[in-house]
Amino acid sequence: MTDARRYAPATERNREPILAVLRRFLPEMGVALEIASGTGEHAAYFARYLPLLIWQPSDPDVDSRASIDAWAAGGGRPNLRDAIDLDAAAQDWPVKKAEAIVCINMVHISPWESTEGLFAGGERLLAPGAPLFLYGPYRRQGVPTAPSNEAFDANLRARDSRWGLRDLETVVELAQTRGFALEHVIEMPSNNLSVIFRRV
């Protein structure tokens, strides 16, 4: 049998710091919908350490979903659901309710329409007070962008002109139009940020 699992080298480096933030801001119980789960490594790891949360991974890419499900099968976690086909930019999502949304490293590796769709979907799904968590690199007004992030941004834009690091202030403005308030911005390793919004 072919192992469908994919590997993202950054996952082992960032999963523990991200988990520490998630422990602070996610509810103890309920459904945590992960948007753009990619390889599925994060989903398998977080489901292990957040056992009372039902972790719902998703991705629009069929090979990514196969990887996610392969990681899930290897972990034997009853709180980790099968991956679902979900495009953040779509108007209809195959999920109608969640207690939290988690989105790691999607905003800069997707068209802006995906970020717009993320907050539109969050507005539909989340109840007041529920968190929406973002992780990744951002540009910030008045804060110099690290040379490594500048190089990463150039690489992304060369791969797809619709991709690239976003201005955090622009993301916050978008979130506010969809009924989300910025709660925390937390510095993370390797010049990344954890950004926590709350549905108002």
CATH superfamily of 9-190: Vaccinia Virus protein VP39 (3.40.50.150)
CA–CA separation, 32 and 11 (whole Å): 19
Q: Does the pLDDT at position 76 exceed 80?
A: no
Q: How does residue 2 score in pLDDT terms, banded at 50, 70 and 90?
A: low
Residue 1: per-residue pLDDT: 40
Tens of pLDDT, residue by residue over 46-59, are 999 999 999 999 99
The DSSP string of 33-71 is EEES-TTSHHHHHHHHH-TTEEEE-B-S-HHHHHHHHHH
What average pLDDT does range 15-34 have in this prediction? 97
What average pLDDT does range 128-157 have in this prediction? 97
Tens of pLDDT, residue by residue over 25-41, are 999 999 999 999 999 99
Tokens of 130: 């529920």
Reported pTM: 0.96
